[in-house]
């Protein structure tokens, strides 16, 4: 049974017969990634004038208004409501870069969250970054498959589970975090991970022994793993997840239906960046078994009026970000060319810089090839002091680093795609690091790569179509943007939510200051 969200959904419950003592409403979000301000349709920060024109989505002020309205209407009708976050509040905008989780904590406190799962990006500034966030929130932040007892800053502060008492209804919340967080973030050696399913089974058993019959898993492992866990872990009544940024919606084109059912267990997720608010409705029988699951995700567009007080506070916090943009982060020894007239037809110094920065960031993860679309480079940088504003001018899209494995054949197909519209100056042109290639612009599209080589040690070897390589790109390209569908369909073991590319570039330039730009013949025209 699927019921549409928003006002119609609330009205249905308001008109329903009172006496559904075992019904629970779960409002949920995941992967906000510091999108405190409203976002555009491309998920980047929205300009105030565009938001005023009704062209933007989300933002914590809009999210808070919708949560408050739903909660008030449902509680007035005698319904039980909880608000959950499935992790990754950290990383993704200058709000995080500037305030390091303090802004996220403030707004979550104001909205009255009942529980939050630890996401992998909560460790981006190490255990200390998460500890600072915990200092500022009163709601439980949990994860059942991480042992923090050996951490001097986290010991005793991240529980395995929590039990919420809702007017006599006890609801257990268990949690798990993706075990590859040790590779995708910085939890450190003192945070020990265990298998997600084993940890959830243990916590479910603990709660069941305590007489808790209604148990929700609040996870940050991705949809695919959530679907497996729903089948593998008895006793879970529903899974509210995150990590894979999956859009579930019963009316949006291309979205998965909400909820996804695995046997009798509903699995839900609400995309990312605060663009949607999930609303899952569970009905239980006397034994605590789910008898019906319904609801949907609610698009937070211009039809939702932001909370005025919260919007004012967001504006106040946004003020100093202008100062962040003026912060000097590095020095350039010469002009760095990021012009579209060069970076979309051949090797350019900005393309080399960005691709080199990407590869340097993840080389120790077994990655040997970097590919960046020339159209993602939006400005040049002049010689002299380099500010964060300069960096953001080059990389304004809030793209994140994406790593995956691909065969040499897939890499070759990607190069051919990047070269397929060179005569049009298309943005898909491939800037690279860790490899070099020769191309013939006069050849037919799809057959323009003359040769391609990959660096091995101090030398070069021919790209092997049958060999598997570690590749890094940005999340836009990994998702199929600019025609790179082969990255989406044939990329293996992908992780799309690494650090912001602008931060990667700033860090690399700072570590190599004064940065000396140059061309080295990695891209050659026949």
DSSP calls for 93-147: SHHHHHHTTHHHHHHHHHHT-SEEEPPGGGGTTHHHHHHHHHTT--S-EE-TTEE
Least-confidence region, from 176-185, 276-285, 351-360, 442-451: 176-185
Specify whether 287 is located in the same domain as 213: yes
Closest CA to 245 of 261, 224, 222, 227: 222
Specify whether 38 is located in the same domain as 57: yes
Q: How far apart are CA 504 and CA 329, in angstroms?
A: 12
Instruction: State the CB neighbour count (10 A cutoff) for residue 275.
Output: 26
Task: Please give the residue range of the domain that contains residue 284.
Answer: 24-318
Specify whether 387 is located in the same domain as 424: yes
Which residues have a Cβ under 8 Å from the Cβ of 257 and sit 6 or more positions away? Answer: 2, 248, 250
Give the model's pLDDT for residue 19: 41
Asked if residue 7 belongs to a domain, the reply is no
Domain boundary among 295, 318, 341: 318
Least-confidence region, from 1-5, 168-172, 174-178: 1-5
Whole-Å CA distances, 282 to 26, 42, 372: 8, 33, 45
Q: Residue 161: which pLDDT band, with cuts at 50, 70 and 90?
A: very high
CB hemisphere CA count around 31 (13 angstroms) = 26
Specify whether 347 is located in the same domain as 476: yes
Q: What is the CATH number for 161?
A: 3.60.21.10
- Judge whether residue 404 has pLDDT over 50: yes
State percent of the chain over pLDDT 90: 81
Least-confidence region, from 4-18, 53-67, 222-236, 505-519: 4-18
Domain boundary among 294, 318, 342: 318
Instruction: State the CB neighbour count (10 A cutoff) for residue 413.
Output: 20
Specify whether 155 is located in the same domain as 214: yes
Specify whether 261 is located in the same domain as 340: no
Q: How far apart are CA 222 and CA 453, in angstroms?
A: 35
Which residues have a Cβ under 8 Å from the Cβ of 460 and sit 6 or more positions away? Answer: 436, 453, 454
Domain boundary among 265, 294, 318: 318
- Judge whether residue 92 has pLDDT over 90: no
Rounded mean pLDDT, 299-325: 94
Specify whether 243 is located in the same domain as 270: yes
- Judge whether residue 21 has pLDDT over 90: no
Asked if residue 61 belongs to a domain, the reply is yes
Q: What is the CATH number for 477?
A: 3.90.780.10
Asked if residue 14 belongs to a domain, the reply is no
Asked if residue 5 belongs to a domain, the reply is no
Q: How far is Cα of residue 187 from the mean position of the Cα atoms in its chain?
A: 17
Asked if residue 9 belongs to a domain, the reply is no
Specify whether 414 is located in the same domain as 501: yes
Closest CA to 196 of 256, 239, 153, 248: 239
In order, the DSSP letters of 233-254 are STT--EEE--SS--BB-SSSTT
Q: How far is Cα of residue 510 from the mean position of the Cα atoms in its chain?
A: 25
Specify whether 195 is located in the same domain as 341: no
Asked if residue 8 belongs to a domain, the reply is no
Conformation bin of residue 523: beta by default, left when phi > 0, alpha when psi is -120 to 50:
beta
Closest CA to 430 of 332, 341, 344, 314: 344
Instruction: State the CB neighbour count (10 A cutoff) for residue 382.
Output: 12
- What pTM, to 2 d.p., does this model score? 0.75
Specify whether 314 is located in the same domain as 332: no
Specify whether 333 is located in the same domain as 300: no
Q: How far is Cα of residue 404 from the mean position of the Cα atoms in its chain?
A: 16
If you average pLDDT over every residue of the chain, what do you get?
A: 93
Asked if residue 68 belongs to a domain, the reply is yes
Give the model's pLDDT for residue 6: 53
Rounded mean pLDDT, 290-314: 98
Give the model's pLDDT for residue 4: 36
Which residue has better confidence, 24 or 379?
24
Q: How far apart are CA 441 and CA 523, in angstroms?
A: 12
Least-confidence region, from 294-308, 371-385, 407-421: 371-385
Q: Residue 10: which pLDDT band, with cuts at 50, 70 and 90?
A: low
Per the structure, the count of domains in the chain is 2
Give the model's pLDDT for residue 391: 92
Give the model's pLDDT for residue 3: 32
DSSP structural state of residue 17: P
Give the model's pLDDT for residue 378: 82
Give the model's pLDDT for residue 379: 83
Give the model's pLDDT for residue 15: 41
Whole-Å CA distances, 32 to 59, 245, 435, 484: 9, 10, 35, 26
Asked if residue 435 belongs to a domain, the reply is yes
Specify whether 474 is located in the same domain as 386: yes
Q: How far apart are CA 500 and CA 485, in angstroms?
A: 22
Burial (CB < 10 A; 0-12, 13-18, 19+), residue 198, is middle
Give the model's pLDDT for residue 385: 94
């Amino acid at each position: 049974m699927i019921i549409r969200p928003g006002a119609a959904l609330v009205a249905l419950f308001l008109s329903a017969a009172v006496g559904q003592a075992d019904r629970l409403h779960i409002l949920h979000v995941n992967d906000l990634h510091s999108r405190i301000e409203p976002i555009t349709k491309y998920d980047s920060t929205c300009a105030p004038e565009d938001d005023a024109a009704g062209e933007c989505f989300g933002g914590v002020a809009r999210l808070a208004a919708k949560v408050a309205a739903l909660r008030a209407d449902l509680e007035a009708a005698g319904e039980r409501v909880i608000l959950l976050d499935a992790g990754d509040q950290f990383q993704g905008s200058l709000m995080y870069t500037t305030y390091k989780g303090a802004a996220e904590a403030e707004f979550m406190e104001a909205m009255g969250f009942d529980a939050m799962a630890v996401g992998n990006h909560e460790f981006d500034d190490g255990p200390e970054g998460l500890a600072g966030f915990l200092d500022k929130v009163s709601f439980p932040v949990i994860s059942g498959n991480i042992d923090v007892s050996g951490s001097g800053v986290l010991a005793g502060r991240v529980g395995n589970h929590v039990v919420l008492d809702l007017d006599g209804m006890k609801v257990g919340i268990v949690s798990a975090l993706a075990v590859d967080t040790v590779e995708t973030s910085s939890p450190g050696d003192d945070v020990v991970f265990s298998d997600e399913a084993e940890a959830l089974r243990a916590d479910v058993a603990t709660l069941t022994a305590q007489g808790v019959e209604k148990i929700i898993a609040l996870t940050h492992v991705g949809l695919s793993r959530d679907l497996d866990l729903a089948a593998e872990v008895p006793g879970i009544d529903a899974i509210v997840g995150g990590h894979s940024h999956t859009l579930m919606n019963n009316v949006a084109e291309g979205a998965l239906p909400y909820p996804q059912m695995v046997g009798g267990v509903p699995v839900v997720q609400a995309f990312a960046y605060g663009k949607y608010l999930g609303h899952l409705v569970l009905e239980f029988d006397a034994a605590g078994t789910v008898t019906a699951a319904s609801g949907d995700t609610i698009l937070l567009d211009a039809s939702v009026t932001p909370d005025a007080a919260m919007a004012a506070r967001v504006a106040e916090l946004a003020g100093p970000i202008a100062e962040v943009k003026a912060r000097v982060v590095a020095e350039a020894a010469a002009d760095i060319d990021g012009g579209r007239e060069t970076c979309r037809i051949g090797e350019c110094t900005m393309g080399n810089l960005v691709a080199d920065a990407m590869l340097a960031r993840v080389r120790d993860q077994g990655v040997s090839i970097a590919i960046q679309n020339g159209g993602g480079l939006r400005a040049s940088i002049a010689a002299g002091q380099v500010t964060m504003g300069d960096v953001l001018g080059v990389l304004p899209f809030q793209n994140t680093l994406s790593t995956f494995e691909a065969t040499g054949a897939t890499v070759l197909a990607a190069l051919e795609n990047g070269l397929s519209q060179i005569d049009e100056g298309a943005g898909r042109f491939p800037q690279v690091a860790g490899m070099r290639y020769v191309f013939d612009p006069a050849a037919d599209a799809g057959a323009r790569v003359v040769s391609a080589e990959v660096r091995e040690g101090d030398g070069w070897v021919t790209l092997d179509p049958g060999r598997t390589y570690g590749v890094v790109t940005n999340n836009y390209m990994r998702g199929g943007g600019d025609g790179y569908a082969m990255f989406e369909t044939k990329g293996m073991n992908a992780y799309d939510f690494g650090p912001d590319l602008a931060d990667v570039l700033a860090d690399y330039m700072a570590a190599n200051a004064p940065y000396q730009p140059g061309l080295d013949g990695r891209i050659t025209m026949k």
